[in-house]
Amino acid sequence: MRPTFKHGKKYLIGLLGGISLMFFIQAKEQDSFFELTKNMEVFTSLFKELNTYYVDPIQPGKIVKTGIDAMLNELDPYTNYITEEDIEDYRFQTTGKYGGIGSTVRKKDDYIAIGEPYENSPVIKAGLKAGDLIIEIDGHSTKGKEIEDVSKFLKGSPGTQLKVKIREAITGAESVKTITREEINVSSVPYSGMVGPNNEYAYVRLSQFTERCGSMLRAAYDSLKRANPNTKGVILDLRYNPGGLLDEAVNICNIFMNGGQLVVSTKGKNEEWDKEYKTSGTPWDEKIPVTILINRNSASASEIVAGTMQDLDRGVVIGQRSFGKGLVQTTRNLSFNAKLKVTTAKYYTPSGRCIQALDYTHRNEDGSVGEIPDSIKTKFKTKSGRTVMDGGGIDPDIKTESKEAIRIISTLNSKSFVFDYATQYVSKHPSIASAKDFTLSDAEFDDFVKWLDTKDYSYKTKTEEALVKFKEVAEKENYYDAIKKDFETLQHTLSHDKMQDLLKNKKEIKRLLQDEIITRYYFQRGRLQNQLMDDDELKEAIKVLADPARYNSILAGK
């Protein structure tokens, strides 16, 4: 059938429209390229003039780094410029390995102190202990230095040595120690073990998604099941896990499901970032009951695993709503060994949801970023038809109460009183009970309270801070004189009793003290093992695994 003139006219209009759109897009691209070129020239000429005419010598590297950071601050917090000197820190995030002394460090008065030494690390071999002050490194004083500056001195190639002048925490005696740096490998699986009334459930903690962590996790479960053939269920702990490598999230899902299963898809501005990631190997166990523990600090790859297991009804998620990071970063090489870590895509779980909580593309007038409102969140369905939502992290199937920050506890931590008391405690106790059995007695807690008598741990409660703001507003509006007497009475009534706050939060403070003390004797592994003895999310996981009817009912959405 021949097209009529009427039809031909439509075709002509459509063709002209298409050509116009093509030229429009091309023009937009040219405009964008012109804007980029123009502004690069402006920046280069400005920098040249600044370097030539500014009254004092400038530091080009520092100024450019400041400028780049300010530019990237307009985007999301995950797009970062990584200088050559920061590459080692970046590699540690992806591999869990670095060359150094094997300890965290912390600020202590004017100096830097040994924080948490790793088991069998170079600092342990050199005889250093938590709390010891680092006075000098290779003859250079550390007084007034920040943690970042000192850390750079402590890191270096394995096999190299450094001399550190130490002031012993208890005696104050000073000595020079020689530390030989080693390759420090911080395992992504810091603890695994059997839990439950009859040790029938395999528990593994995963702290970060680094290279080969999927293999480590599988090996840990394999070892536990081999030693305990009657293992009835699995607990995967992703609490406080900030994420990491996307490929490893896929590998971990593959532990519990067959190959060929879609785990996550990504979509970006460029088609090259539109990808699907599927499992490709043989599962460790595709039928064993699984629970996944998450909290508000579980992010990125942790959310991919939790979200995928939830979407496919493969495991019960327990805890608090996760962080809500649905963005994918790619590393691009720059000149002079620098790198750009740039957000290139958003990721989507098998049901099709993106769990990004903050909308960085629409900032408020003050530059702040708001959460995606509930009104525009979309419902999605899991494999069995359960409703799940996008736009705000992973909502657990079983919610547990989140622990709010307590002001007195943050004060005791920020002023190092818990840390310092643990140092005193260790000097008086050559040994303690096993990591599993150790508990701080009431008498020892009372000793800590008595020790605090001479310390300044003053702070303002949130109510007191609100009252101060109320006073400021009342003064501005000329109401304060009329209510001054009532205000002072209220202020006196609200004035907190520090001793009562200590006693009221005794359980939480004892937990902090216990964690710090155990770490001094049994390191991170011992601390994690002890924490499991009083863990609400773990108790809930054991409870649901022990009740197959409830477990299956949750996954079926009944």
Residue 4 lies in a domain: no
| pLDDT > 70? residue 5 | no
pLDDT at position 176: 96
pLDDT at position 32: 67
Final residue before a domain boundary, out of 185, 214, 237: 185
**Do residues 223 and 272 both lie within one domain?**
yes
Residue in 350, 347, 352, 354 with CA at minimum distance from that of residue 393: 354
Displacement of CA 303 from its chain's centroid (Å): 12
Q: What is the pLDDT of residues 460-511, one digit of tens each?
A: 777 777 888 888 888 888 888 888 888 888 877 766 677 888 888 999 999 9
Which residue's entry shows tokens 């006073």?
Answer: 471
C-alpha distances in angstroms, 169 versus 105, 166, 223, 318, 538?
A: 14, 9, 40, 41, 36
7 band by pLDDT with thresholds 50, 70 and 90: very low
Average pLDDT over residues 72-83: 90
Residue 325 lies in a domain: yes
CA–CA separation, 343 and 296 (whole Å):
22
- In the chain, how many domains are there? 5
- Range from 44-53, 188-197, 327-336, 447-456 that averages highest in pLDDT: 188-197
* Contact present, 435 and 393 (Cβ < 8 Å): no
Q: What is the mean pLDDT of the chain?
A: 89
Residue 551 lies in a domain: no
Q: What is the pLDDT of residues 121-138, one digit of tens each?
A: 999 999 999 999 999 999
**Do residues 433 and 350 both lie within one domain?**
no
188 band by pLDDT with thresholds 50, 70 and 90: very high
**Do residues 196 and 225 both lie within one domain?**
yes
**Do residues 197 and 255 both lie within one domain?**
yes
Which residue's entry shows tokens 């895509």?
Answer: 345
pLDDT at position 24: 44
Q: What is the pTM of this model?
A: 0.85
| pLDDT > 60? residue 71 | yes
Residue in 185, 171, 301, 179 with CA at minimum distance from that of residue 236: 301
Q: What is the secondary structure of 389-418 as a DSSP string?
A: E-SS-PPPSEE-------HHHHHHHHTTHH
| pLDDT > 80? residue 251 | yes
pLDDT at position 367: 64
CATH number of 169's domain: 2.30.42.10
**Do residues 68 and 131 both lie within one domain?**
no
10 band by pLDDT with thresholds 50, 70 and 90: very low
**Do residues 429 and 331 both lie within one domain?**
no
**Do residues 388 and 418 both lie within one domain?**
no
**Do residues 141 and 112 both lie within one domain?**
yes
Displacement of CA 497 from its chain's centroid (Å): 34
| pLDDT > 60? residue 15 | no
CA–CA separation, 23 and 544 (whole Å):
61
| pLDDT > 60? residue 16 | no
92 band by pLDDT with thresholds 50, 70 and 90: confident
pLDDT at position 18: 45
Average pLDDT over residues 48-67: 89
**Do residues 173 and 145 both lie within one domain?**
yes
| pLDDT > 50? residue 2 | no
DSSP helix/strand/coil, 175: strand
Average pLDDT over residues 172-185: 95
CATH number of 372's domain: 3.90.226.10
Residue 90 lies in a domain: no
pLDDT at position 29: 54
| pLDDT > 90? residue 431 | yes
**Dihedrals φ, ψ of 125, to 5°?**
-65, -30
* Contact present, 278 and 259 (Cβ < 8 Å): yes
Residue 29 lies in a domain: no
Residue in 505, 418, 498 with CA at minimum distance from that of residue 457: 498
**Do residues 415 and 504 both lie within one domain?**
yes
Q: How many CB atoms lie within 10 A of CB 286?
A: 13
**Do residues 46 and 114 both lie within one domain?**
no
Residue 132 lies in a domain: yes
Range of the domain at 476: 462-494
Q: How far apart are the first and last CA of the chain?
A: 58
Average pLDDT over residues 2-18: 43
Active site residues: 300, 311, 325
Which residue's entry shows tokens 């499992």?
Answer: 279
**Do residues 207 and 334 both lie within one domain?**
yes
Residue 28 lies in a domain: no
Residue 257 lies in a domain: yes
Greater model confidence, 430 or 362: 430
